[in-house]
Structure 1
């Protein structure tokens, strides 16, 4: 098993030594807040960062939970995705839970462990409790939570969406894997390579999915497993500053909208991210902007 764990660690891209940014107050919109907190719940505890937007006279529209990838920190992820300023424009709160080395030496969310894949225990239940607590604190309805993540964080975001569909309104998964793709480290490695030995479950909530065609860490085939069979599909092609992308839109088995973005030549990185963060590709398209656009469209439809 030690050899298997070593192989899994080897597949985690190494961080550049200078990429451990600190989120500065100067980087925040005026009157916005960004603070470190700790959540204690029946399924465990975690520290997290909480961004509250500057438009204090306007009602909060929802909460976006952002789950970092392996070896990342919440600060790093906030900087790299640029999510705070986008959320500020739309009166959204952002919560960044922090994985610990005590729970995973590579700081990965444990999406592949059966004990963390349950609705009534483990990390999925812990994150659901944290999300529900933030919603309640700000007087928002239980179904006002949006989740997004990169790599292992994306896999955990997808898992959280499927285990708690009454809580999660929509999901955004970047370079991640479908729930049920793995049950241990060995099957996790297989799923990351693209093997179909697991029982992958498509997302059941409205979802936007991003994956680079040159991802050598998580095989691009996993994007299709996250989406599952779609109906009423349309396709379009576009170009970012230097990358072509193809978008497949349709409805999943639950009748919810799904978008699958396949980004030509992109690796295991956050598309359109800021160079100051780790695992980012500034060339675009801007995954953060598209995530927020998708989430706001869902909010607008619910309001209408």
Structure 2
């Protein structure tokens, strides 16, 4: 997509903020540019260089960070501990939740990738995935993107070196997954991955790059794999366009999904355009069955659910949440970027995951 002159001018100002200004100022400027608004010429002095995709806009009033949850609230009844993993690509910490009912029997494992500006405790509190792990007897792991890898703590989903199996951040996330599997009894056919925003985009990369490791993926408010190759193309994709060269790269990839996907996206999302959700489920074209979420699951927002299949019979679900912004549907206000009024994305992901063990 060719970006217009006004947008490019805005991006020059954003880059100046990123070099010299405040990260919060840069975040606000990026979001205003994505909405097509003008950016003031005033550039504040003070911030770090960014190598990341744009971070979410400052949360709307309903989505502001709640007071930090008490440790018992985050941990629920099981064990929530911190670990580290390192390989040639670097080192990442991760938080591991093991349910109270774990008795060394093989359990499902869910890998949760947080969004920009978040961390593992925040994401666990917002998604309430640990409580679901207690209910369904699952292990949950939360890899942590540190600020030194990305000033906004975004996963670098748009960098070519972070989009391939065995390289960069995908190798670290896969390594963390295998580290947990080595230390606990995990059912290798029930290993799943999910994420929000930049984490959702990375989850889409992981399920394509590691189909031998993950049985299914959940992408919430994210983007399709290989949608971008640098910051300008990431911005273009987030606006709903296609970055230069993206069409050719995507055309070279076969639209033959190997693993099931469940996708959530708000149709009022101004951070990642809702059109990206359709890109995530490309290749799932046959036997489309539209429907609506049951009233008991729909909360105060209505949503449309499309159940899809690929030509090879791989399942997918696309949940379009009407009136929802850039936030985890049905999440708790104890975490950032959550929308308690939405359907329960965590519960629906868990349902979908457990119904789709890996087939060989």
Residue 266 of structure 1 aligns to a residue whose secondary structure is coil
Q: Name the TM-score, length of structure 2 as normaliser.
A: 0.78
Question: 2:327 maps to which residue?
Answer: 269
Q: Which moved more, 1:55-64 or 1:114-123?
A: 55-64
Of residues 190, 212, 215, the one that matches 1:169 is 215
Distance 2:65 2:126 in 1: 13
Structure 2 unaligned residues grouped into runs of 5+:
1-10, 19-25, 32-55
Deviation at 1:194, TM superposition (A): 0.5
Distance 1:23 1:128 in 2: 30
Matching of residues 21-32 of structure 1 within 5 Å = 21-22=68-69, 24-25=71-72, 27-30=74-77, 32=78
Of residues 45, 62, 67, the one that matches 2:91 is 45
Residue 149 of structure 2 aligns to a residue whose secondary structure is coil
Distance 2:118 2:281 in 1: 26
Deviation at 1:38, TM superposition (A): 1.1
Distance 1:191 1:61 in 2: 37
Distance 2:291 2:190 in 1: 29
Question: 2:286 maps to which residue?
Answer: 231
Question: 1:287 maps to which residue?
Answer: 345
Deviation at 1:250, TM superposition (A): 1.3
Distance 2:332 2:225 in 1: 28
Q: Name the TM-score, length of structure 1 as normaliser.
A: 0.92
Count residues in correspondence. 301
Question: 2:120 maps to which residue?
Answer: 74
Q: Residues 22, 207 of structure 1: CA spacing in aligned structure 2 closer, same or farther, 3 A cutoff?
A: same
Distance 1:107 1:289 in 2: 26
Structure 1 unaligned residues grouped into runs of 5+:
none
Q: Which moved more, 1:195-204 or 1:64-73?
A: 195-204
Q: Residues 115, 58 of structure 1: CA spacing in aligned structure 2 closer, same or farther, 3 A cutoff?
A: closer
Residue 161 of structure 1 aligns to a residue whose secondary structure is helix
Question: 1:193 maps to which residue?
Answer: 239
Q: Residues 3, 164 of structure 1: CA spacing in aligned structure 2 closer, same or farther, 3 A cutoff?
A: farther
Q: Is the radius of gyration larger for structure 1 or structure 2?
A: 2
Once the two structures are superposed, residues 2-27 of structure 1 have per-residue CA deviations (whole angstroms, 9 ceiling, x without a partner) of 64545973332125775462451355
Residue 161 of structure 2 aligns to a residue whose secondary structure is helix
Contact 2:123 2:336 in 1 (8 A): yes
Contact 1:275 1:281 in 2 (8 A): yes
1:140 paired with 2:191, answer no
Once the two structures are superposed, residues 68-118 of structure 1 have per-residue CA deviations (whole angstroms, 9 ceiling, x without a partner) of 000111110000000001011111110001111111111100000001111
Distance 1:256 1:3 in 2: 45
Q: Which moved more, 1:193-202 or 1:275-284?
A: 193-202
Of residues 266, 279, 302, the one that matches 1:212 is 266
1:33 paired with 2:76, answer no
Distance 2:91 2:189 in 1: 22
Residue 80 of structure 1 aligns to a residue whose secondary structure is helix
Once the two structures are superposed, residues 23-79 of structure 1 have per-residue CA deviations (whole angstroms, 9 ceiling, x without a partner) of 51355443x100111112233210111000111237242111100000111110000
Deviation at 1:136, TM superposition (A): 2.1
Question: 1:14 maps to which residue?
Answer: 58
Q: Residues 157, 196 of structure 1: CA spacing in aligned structure 2 closer, same or farther, 3 A cutoff?
A: same
Distance 2:187 2:102 in 1: 18
Question: 2:8 maps to which residue?
Answer: none
Deviation at 1:235, TM superposition (A): 1.1
